[in-house]
């Protein structure tokens, strides 16, 4: 083992204990990328992490979630305090038959995404729509959350 460690360290190089720590971090990152939520094996583990677009106007917060293959009946939207949570299940099955081939493909997974809202919203006035696999939410702001401008007279 001692023959693997250089006798002198050049300026800018890390010491052996730092090199081992760095190597371990890189290996951990590699495993997390491969087996984590967005890695290539996450599909087989039932992982489904839909992308969200969140924007804000003076009057409301707009949330757009891409949920391809998700039945609208399987979507649950909750607002608790300043947290918006969208949950659901994706179940999809495709079957293809030809004279010499029979193929069935299935994909399914549970998802749950939570975001912290930047301001208070009127929970009883939330509008939701689902079209072509996209969930659109309109979250109207409370009056106290809306931006107010004050005009200052200069003399």
Contact by Cβ (8 Å): 87, 111: yes
Gap between the Cα atoms of 74 and 38, Å rounded? 22
Identify the weakest region by mean pLDDT among 25-34, 82-91, 113-122, 128-137.
Answer: 25-34
Which residues lie below 8 Å from residue 17, measured CB to CB, with a gap of 6+? none
pLDDT band at 129 (very low <50, low <70, confident <90, very high): very high
Contact by Cβ (8 Å): 104, 86: no
The pairing of beta strand 102-116 with beta strand 52-56: unpaired
Q: Report whether pLDDT(128) > 80.
A: yes
Q: Report whether pLDDT(130) > 50.
A: yes
pLDDT of residue 75: 92
What Å distances lie between residue 26 and 14, 19, 20, 42, 115, CA to CA? 15, 11, 10, 20, 29
Gap between the Cα atoms of 64 and 51, Å rounded? 8
pLDDT of residue 43: 46
pLDDT band at 65 (very low <50, low <70, confident <90, very high): very high
Quote the mean pLDDT of the chain: 78
Q: Report whether pLDDT(136) > 90.
A: yes
Average of pLDDT values for 111-140?
Answer: 91
Q: CA Rg, the chain, in Å?
A: 25
HSE, side-chain direction, 13 A CA sphere, residue 146: 12
Short-list 61, 52, 32, 62, CA closest to 111: 52
Q: Report whether pLDDT(140) > 50.
A: yes
Q: What is the pTM for the complete model shown?
A: 0.59
pLDDT of residue 35: 63
Average of pLDDT values for 72-97?
Answer: 86
Give percent of the chain with pLDDT exceeding 90: 21
Q: Report whether pLDDT(42) > 50.
A: no
């Amino acid at each position: 083992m001692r023959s693997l460690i250089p006798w002198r360290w050049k300026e800018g190089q890390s010491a052996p204990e730092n090199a081992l720590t760095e190597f371990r971090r890189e290996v951990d990152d590699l495993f997390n990328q491969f087996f984590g939520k967005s890695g290539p094996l996450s599909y087989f583990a039932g992982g489904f992490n839909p992308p969200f677009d969140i924007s804000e106007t003076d009057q409301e917060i707009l949330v757009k979630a891409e949920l391809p293959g998700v039945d609208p009946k399987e979507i649950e939207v909750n607002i608790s305090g300043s947290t918006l949570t969208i949950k659901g299940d994706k179940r999809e099955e495709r079957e293809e038959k030809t004279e010499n081939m029979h193929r069935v493909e299935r994909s399914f997974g549970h998802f749950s995404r939570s975001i912290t809202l930047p301001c208070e919203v009127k929970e009883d006035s939330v509008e939701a729509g689902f079209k072509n696999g996209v969930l659109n939410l309109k979250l109207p702001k409370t009056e106290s959350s809306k931006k107010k401008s004050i005009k200052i007279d200069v003399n």
